Amino acid sequence: MSQELWSAIDQYITEHVVRPEPVLDGSLAAAERAGLPQISVAPNQGKLLYLLARMIGARNVLEIGTLAAYSTIWMARALPAEGRVITLEFDPAHAVVARENLERAGLNGVVEVRVGPALETLSGVPRTPPFDLVFIDADKKSIPEYFEWALRLTRRGGLIIVDNVVREGAVLDAGSEDASVLGVRRFNEMLRGEQRVSATTIQTVGSKGHDGITIALID
Ligand code: SAH
Ligand code: DHB
Ligand code: MG
C-alpha cells in the first residue's frame, strides 16, 4: 500500500460518503492560502468527530488545538442550537485564520477561540456545565496533561478523543527522545492503568499518512 493509493481512496470516500459542505472545503483552502501547515484532520476524520458528537447528543465541546478551525467546524455543525465549542490555540496567526473561517461558516456565536498555551488557558475553561466531548489535537508532548484536564472536565458518558497517537509507528520506539513520541507513550502508560474510561485506539491510513486516534468513553 502506498501513500498515493491511500490519498486516492480518501478522496473517493470523501466524494461518495463524507460529502462535506462547501464551507468546510473553503476553510481548508483559506488555511492553505494563509500558509498554515496542512495538518487538519482529513474530511472522513472530521465526519467521524461530527458523528460521534451527534451520537452522544453533545452540546458542549472543548478542543485543544484549533489551527484553522476545520475540525472545530465539523464538531460545531453537530450540535443543537444551544450548543457551544471552546477551542484553544497557541498561535495568534492560526487564531486569525480560524476566526475568519468560523465567521464564514456562521459559527462566530457558537465557537469561542481562546489564544495562548493550552496548559495555561485550560485553567480558565469553565467546569460547569461539564463537556460532552473533548478533542485533543495540539502539541503531542503534552497529551498526558491534556488528558488529565479532559478527565476532570468531561461528564460521564462523554468522550475524549486524541489525535495523532501512532505517527507512522513511532509510538513503538521505546528508545525515542522525540518529545511528541514520549508524550504519546506516556499517554498510553496512563491509559493502561486508567479505570475511569473505556478506550480503544484505531490505526488509520489515508491522506494524512499512517496515524491513529484514541477514543475514550468516561465510565
Ligand atoms: N484540530 C485541527 C488541527 C490542529 S493542528 C484540525 O484538525 O483542523 C495543532 C494546533 O495546535 C496548531 O494550530 C498549533 O499551533 C496548536 N498548538 C501547538 N501547541 C499548542 C499549545 N501548547 N497550546 C495550544 N495550542 C497549541
Ligand atoms: C501534526 C499535528 C497534528 O495535529 C496532526 O494531525 C499531524 C501533524 C504535527 O504537529 O506535526
Ligand atoms: Mg491532529
Instruction: Give the DSSP letter of residue 51.
Output: H
Q: What is the pLDDT of residues 131-155, one digit of tens each?
A: 999 999 999 999 999 999 999 999 9
Gap from CA of 37 to ligand 3 centroid (Å): 11
Other CB atoms closer than 10 Å to residue 202's CB: what's the count? 12
Nearest CA to ligand 1 atom 19: 139
Calpha distance 185→219 (Å, rounded): 23
Indicate the SS3 state at residue 132.
strand
Cα radius of gyration rounded to whole Å, the chain: 16
Q: What is the pLDDT of residues 181-190, one digit of tens each?
A: 999 999 999 9
| pLDDT at residue 16, rounded to an integer | 98
Ligand 1 atom nearest the C-alpha of 45 is 7
Strand partners, 218: 197
Q: What is the pLDDT of residues 4-24, one digit of tens each?
A: 999 999 999 999 999 999 999
**Residues contacting 47, CB < 8 A, separation 6+:** 17, 18, 20, 74
Ligand 2 atom nearest the C-alpha of 67 is 4
Q: Half-sphere exposure of 208 toward its Cβ, with a 13 Å CA cutoff?
A: 20
Nearest CA to ligand 2 atom 9: 39
- Closest ligand to 67 CA? 1
| pLDDT at residue 148, rounded to an integer | 98
Instruction: Give the DSSP letter of residue 18.
Output: I
3-state helix, strand, coil in the chain (%, to 5): 45, 25, 30
Ligand 1 atom nearest the C-alpha of 65 is 11
| pLDDT at residue 64, rounded to an integer | 99
